[in-house]
Amino acid sequence: MSVLRPLDKLPGLNTATVLLVGADDALLQQLADSMLKTDCASELRVHLARSLPLPSNVNRPRVDLLVFVINLHSKYSLQSVEKSLHHVDASFFLGKACFLATGAGRENLCSVHRNTVVRLAHTYRSPVLFCDLEVEGSRAAMAQRLARMLQISAGHVPGVSAMSLLSLLRSSESPSLEDL
Amino acid sequence: MDETIAEFIRRTILKIPMSEMMTVLEAWNFLSESQLQTLNLRQRKDSLAQSVVLLCEEKCASLSDAALLDIVCTQVHRHQKIWDVYQMSKGPGEDLDLFDIEQFKSSFKKILQRALRNVTVSFRDAEENAVWIRIAWGTQYTKPNQYKPTYVVYYSHTPYAFTSSSRLKSNIPLLGQALTVASKHHQIVKMDLRSRYLDSLKAIVFKQYNQNFEIHNPTAPLQERSVGLDINTDSRIIHENAVEKDKVQRITQETFGDYPQPRLEFAQYKFWKAAMLTTTPQTPTQSLQFHNRFLETKFKSDLNGGILADREEPLRCLIKFSSPHLLEALKSLAPAGIADAPLSPLLTCIPSRGMNYFKIRDK
């Protein structure tokens, strides 16, 4: 059973790899394109996967950041991510994984409630980010944010580690989330 | 010319868009070339309608001529009506008689006129051995209502007839009987198939949908046709699940084929279940909307039983899928990552079984 581990490979020189996991191909592709367009000092690599586990026969670089993309319009997307979570090593959730929920703006099309994703992210002690991947501006902003997070997770930013970023992000959560 | 006929013609003309006016009038073939040339298409439609009525008066248009105009209009705008499909069958051991179209027409008309004294029946032949029939219904005591006719398209070499859904439901049995007897069949059955797109219904019922039509480009390589996303040229993006994606594409292609799907707007499923039903609503792309009434989701049994425990009557649930192009939307579900491939056979069997209204009983 192949489980994705964060530190099982040596890092590449100045390379940072992000793995986007989500059922919605078109959205992942668009996000990947936006991320590559951002101005980033490190060399970015984007891997797209519909679900985990990944095929084992491929030689791939170390994954520095794992982003689970959930489309709030599709329950299938949530189920696919939930299934994939079983194939991730626990140490990823120390700052190298995050959840991205898209489509919250169009309430009438949402079949997954925001809180479901918030609760899921809370269970895994990881940050959850909301955006609308179908809107150019929102996607570009999120891509920049993810690129920055990726740089930190890959260790390219001196003085900030993935764990410290995680604790910084967590302090902005409202205390009522602990009751969920 | 009767005032009612004049009014009928006027109102029919008003329904035709200006861009199609000449096409329709020429297809009607009632007004002469010289008369048509006198029409000024740049004036307002009501003045144009008036001029047409005057020309019709010159030629003493009858009710049947006006009815023919109505048929031509409907043929051009056939998607404005919803069409039902009826299938006729011959009894066992009956010979296949040679079909005589004139005999069919006179027999059909006679049956209706015998039953209801006041009825207007008009015929227009079309391509592929089809005959378009227009029936304006009256009763023993009232004149036919020309503004709520029923249209029937009968393909004479097949047992199929398509009728426009009308609100006057009481005449449907008589219509069925007239069709059956006139075409020398034994029995008529309404199929669970309904749509606005007559050509798609034809394609489904005559099993013609699985042929490639002119618009399909056979020279393009398979990958380019089936992959919905653009092939990305950036080598920094790597698709990990390429094998799975190909599998999904392959399954989709096996299920739906390479050809354009016939066009339907609805699929409706009625469930009767003795036990609880669990369904998960999904909202896929391409404006496929999921309407659900009486939807019951997961039921957790609690000590008190709750409202839904110990039901004696069976649970009923109606699920309706609607879309501008239902089958194409279903075809795109798995490749877009919204549903698992293969899709439920209830969805994929629609063209092959020729049904889009299902009643499912859980025994």
| B107-123: pLDDT as tens digits | 999 999 898 888 889 99
ipTM, two decimals, is 0.81
Q: Which residue of B has its CA nearest to A59?
A: B240
Chain B residues whose CB is inside 8 A of the A77 CB are 337-338
CATH 3.60.90 in chain B, residues? 83-206
Bridging pattern class, strands A43-49 and B130-137? unpaired
| B306-323: pLDDT as tens digits | 455 556 666 778 888 888
Interface test mutation site (partner A, options B229, B230, B232, B237, max chain A beta carbons within 10 A): B237
Determine which helix (DSSP H) or strand (DSSP E) holds B83, and give its type and residue range: strand B83-89
**Does B289 contact chain A (CB < 8 Å)?**
no
- The CATH architecture of the domain made up of B83-206 is 4-Layer Sandwich (3.60)
| B234-274: pLDDT as tens digits | 778 888 888 888 888 899 888 888 888 889 998 888 887 65
Q: Which of B29-38, B190-199, B234-243 has the highest mean pLDDT?
A: B190-199
Confidence of residue B93 (pLDDT cuts 50, 70, 90): low
Q: Which residue of B has its CA nearest to A77?
A: B338
User: Residue B86 pairs with which residues in a beta bridge?
Assistant: B161, B190
Cβ-nearest to A23 among B238, B243, B337: B337
Q: Which residue of A has its CA nearest to B281?
A: A111
Predicted local confidence at residue A130, as pLDDT: 93
Interface test mutation site (partner B, options A19, A50, A146, max chain B beta carbons within 10 A): A50
| Closest residue by Cα to residue B64 from B110, B105, B126, B123 | B123
Tell whether pTM > 0.80. Answer: no
| A15-67: pLDDT as tens digits | 899 999 999 888 999 999 999 998 888 889 999 999 888 887 778 888 999 99
Predicted local confidence at residue B312, as pLDDT: 62
Predicted local confidence at residue B353, as pLDDT: 87
For residues A145-163, one letter each, b for 16 or more C-beta atoms within 10 angstroms of the residue's C-beta and e for the rest, the string is: bbbebbbbbbebbeeeebe
d(CA B73, CA B23): 10
Chain A residues whose CB is inside 8 A of the B228 CB are 26
| B45-88: pLDDT as tens digits | 888 888 888 888 888 888 888 999 999 999 999 888 999 999 99
Confidence of residue B221 (pLDDT cuts 50, 70, 90): very low
Contact B244 A50 (CB under 8 A): yes
Confidence of residue B304 (pLDDT cuts 50, 70, 90): very low
Contact B282 A33 (CB under 8 A): no
Chain A residues whose CB is inside 8 A of the B287 CB are none
Q: What percent of chain B is modeled with pLDDT above 70?
A: 80
Which is higher by pLDDT, A73 or B94? A73
Chain B residues whose CB is inside 8 A of the A49 CB are 239-241
d(CA B336, CA B346): 20
Chain A residues whose CB is inside 8 A of the B245 CB are 25, 50
Contact A75 B282 (CB under 8 A): yes
